[in-house]
Amino acid sequence: MSPFRILSLVALLWLAFTVPSRADAPQVAAPPVVAPRVVASVKPVHSLAASLMQGVGQPKLLVDGTASPHSFSLKPSDAEALSHADIVFWMGPTLEPFLVKPLASLARGAHIVTLIEAPGLRPLALRGAGAWMDGDGAPADGHAHLVPAVAGGAADAQIDGHAWLDPTNAKAMARAMADALIQRDPANAGRYRDNLANLLRALDALDAEIGAILAPISAKPFVVFHDAFHYLEARYRLDGVGAITLNPEVRPGAARLSQLRARIQASGAACVFAEPQFETALIGTLVDGTQAKRGVLDPEGALLPPGPELYAALMRANAQALAGCLGG
């Protein structure tokens, strides 16, 4: 137990024995004042955690602003938060490679919930360079998604981490998160159960809403910036035909650009989607002289303020961006 935790415990005990009980007050045990310290890796995970913790406390977000989980490195304040965490929620080693080592060292005392392994979540494999649009046959060793199997073993390294883009997976994630919260903080179990029930209902409604937005464009081929949308495509039967880069951090060279342009033309892609945190000028170069229009998708919620509302806003924004570009 950390010195800080011992101190808070001592403070609590002191309060319990020194605050005079009023004879006229009902003798009901007050809920504990200390919420569990929860750290969440990326914005969609943080959003679900924030929904579940409403009325209890707030989770801390690691990958904030427009940062990408594929290239993130921990700040000292993040390391500090991890070292005091009671619970850490993350997707897994393929999405957040920066967390593999800190979870094994800094956050040893925390309950670590690897959400890609949540019961009921349907994981999808990473799409290999052969089937996907990496035509130069280069080994994908520069690809941030394809991390060496450090923590979770070879099997985990082959799973696509962007699982929240299917709301039925978000439901499985929410259930696993609520279980962990209840286990760590049983005094607030009722609150977590109520919040979970509300969240599951909202996710069902959202799933139906997104399905209705996307149904008219399900046959329209499109190209994305990095291969983050496998789950969205699978859930709503969308026709994603390729990704521009396997590694969002590396700009393709001139030869690769002309090859990609030829493929965009051949695939009949109606739209090419950039992402807010990556270079959009590149998309202009790519669609020049092709039939494709330009759009922007935001798989990780880079442009959205973090909080309980982010998840639904993220799903709606992406569905509307797809429908807006492909439907027009």
Contacting positions for Zn ion (CB under 5 A) = 228
State the maximum Cα–Cα separation within the chain, in Å, rounded to a whole number.
Answer: 82
Q: Which residue lies nearer to Zn ion by CB, 81 or 91?
A: 91
Q: Which residue lies nearer to Zn ion by CB, 36 or 301?
A: 301
Least distance in angstroms from the C-beta of 176 to Zn ion: 21
Q: Which residue lies nearer to Zn ion by CB, 42 or 106?
A: 42
Q: Which residue lies nearer to Zn ion by CB, 102 or 299?
A: 299
Q: Which residue lies nearer to Zn ion by CB, 35 or 303?
A: 303
CA distance 153 to 305: 34
CA distance 32 to 303: 35
Q: Print the SS3 string covering the chain.
A: CCHHHHHHHHHHHHHHHHCCCCCCCCCCCCCCCCCCCEEECCHHHHHHHHHHCCCCCCCEECCCCCCCCCCCCCCHHHHHHHHCCCEEEECCCCCCHHHHHHHHHCCCCCEEEEHHHCCCCCCCECCCCCCCCCCCCCCHHHCCCCCCCCCCHHHHHCECCCHHHCHHHHHHHHHHHHHHHHHHCHHHHHHHHHHHHHHHHHHHHHHHHHHHHHHHHCCCEEEEEECCCHHHHHHHCCEEEEEEECCCCCCCCHHHHHHHHHHHHHHCCCEEEECCCCCCHHHHHHHCCCCCEEEECCCCCCCCCCCCCHHHHHHHHHHHHHHHHHHC
Least distance in angstroms from the C-beta of 51 to Zn ion: 22
Q: Which residue lies nearer to Zn ion by CB, 245 or 290?
A: 245
- The tokens describing 286, both together, are 């790519």
Q: Which of 154, 252, 196, 233 is nearest to 54 (CA)?
A: 196
Centroid of chain to Cα 73: 16
Least distance in angstroms from the C-beta of 229 to Zn ion: 9
Q: Which residue lies nearer to Zn ion by CB, 228 or 286?
A: 228
Q: Which residue lies nearer to Zn ion by CB, 78 or 300?
A: 300
**Nearest residue by C-beta to Zn ion?**
228
CA distance 39 to 45: 10
Cross-strand partners of 223: 242, 272
Q: Which residue lies nearer to Zn ion by CB, 53 or 126?
A: 126
